[in-house]
Amino acid sequence: MNPTMAAIPPHPAGTTLAAIRARRPLVHCLTNPVAANLTANALACLGASPLMAEAAAEMEAVSRFTDALLVNLGMQHPARMEAAEIATSYAQQFGRPWVLDPVAAGAIAVRMTLAKTMVTRGPRLIKGNASEIRAMADAVASGRGTDSTDDAADVVESARRLAYETGATVAITAAIDWITDGERTLAVHRGHPWMAKVSGMGCVAGAVAAACLAVEPDALIATEHALTLLGVAGELAAKQSTGPASFAAALLDALHGLDPAMDALRA
């Protein structure tokens, strides 16, 4: 399949990176504990500020002063999901941009049910692999745990439909990332294969997207910039690494070292 591409006006990712570093948005992450440390460090290195609060009793207070929210459905347990239910309700009430990552929704029915409930609370972005997005759009069980069994390019039409039905921008993350708001569609050709070898990289992508949404009102552009920033950092990190373990550490250095004036962030 060759999805139709929309013309997107030039809008360099470096401008969003500069805005993040100037404003230092506070991003609340309700995410997979396996990925929490990497996610928090990635946000800090990018120039944002992470908050990893999970207690349901804190959600109203936290939601009043955070700038964006990430909800990742990986490794859920009742307390975290209760907190997520409350946090997404307050994000909707207070007008905070938030990202839904429906981890394994294509493979685990209870995740699908939870994701369908969450999507009614107005996420600005739904981000997942091809099988997760296909499941959300078409109610088709696919995927193998957190692994996709679908090709991203084949799911773009489903993503467009999901975006149209929910009002959210939808991102399919893969070797080539696809992003659509139901009308405009674009692809991001950045990154390195070792990114797929580091657990939690999807959580990092969602958190970076939340940071970008906090400073860029166009969700399609914010998501493009998030995946570009992370992808460019991955490419730079690979040059300094000998394998996935050293790559994970080098990625944080690369995020910290990104310069808004870099040529790779101008396109």
| Other residues' Cβ atoms within 10 Å of the Cβ of residue 243 | 10
Residue 46 lies in a domain: yes
CB 97 within 8 A of CB 139: no
pTM given for the model: 0.91
Distance of CA 116 to the CA centre of its chain: 17
CATH number of the domain bearing residue 59:
3.40.1190.20
Number of domains in the chain: 1
Residue 185 lies in a domain: no
What single-letter DSSP state applies at residue 182?
S
Q: What is the pLDDT along the chain (267 residues), one digit of tens a residue?
A: 445 555 555 679 999 999 999 999 999 999 888 899 999 999 999 999 999 999 999 999 999 999 999 999 876 678 888 898 999 999 999 999 999 998 877 666 777 778 888 899 999 999 998 888 888 887 665 645 445 555 667 789 999 999 999 999 999 999 999 999 999 999 999 999 999 999 899 999 999 999 999 999 999 999 999 999 999 999 999 999 999 999 999 999 999 999 999 989 986
pLDDT on residue 147: 52
The whole-angstrom separation of Cα 263 and Cα 267 is 7
Q: In what order do the strands lie in the sheet with 169-172?
A: 49-51, 26-30, 68-72, 98-101, 125-128, 169-172, 177-180, 185-188
Would you list the DSSP string of 183-237?
Answer: S-EEEE----GGGGGSTTHHHHHHHHHHHHHHH-S-HHHHHHHHHHHHHHHHHHH
Residue 87 lies in a domain: yes
Residue 182 lies in a domain: no
Closest among 249, 209, 250, 200 to 227, alpha carbons compared:
209
The whole-angstrom separation of Cα 17 and Cα 226 is 9
pLDDT on residue 2: 47
Domain that holds residue 202: 23-173+190-255
CB contact set of 22 (below 8 Å; sequence gap of 6+):
none
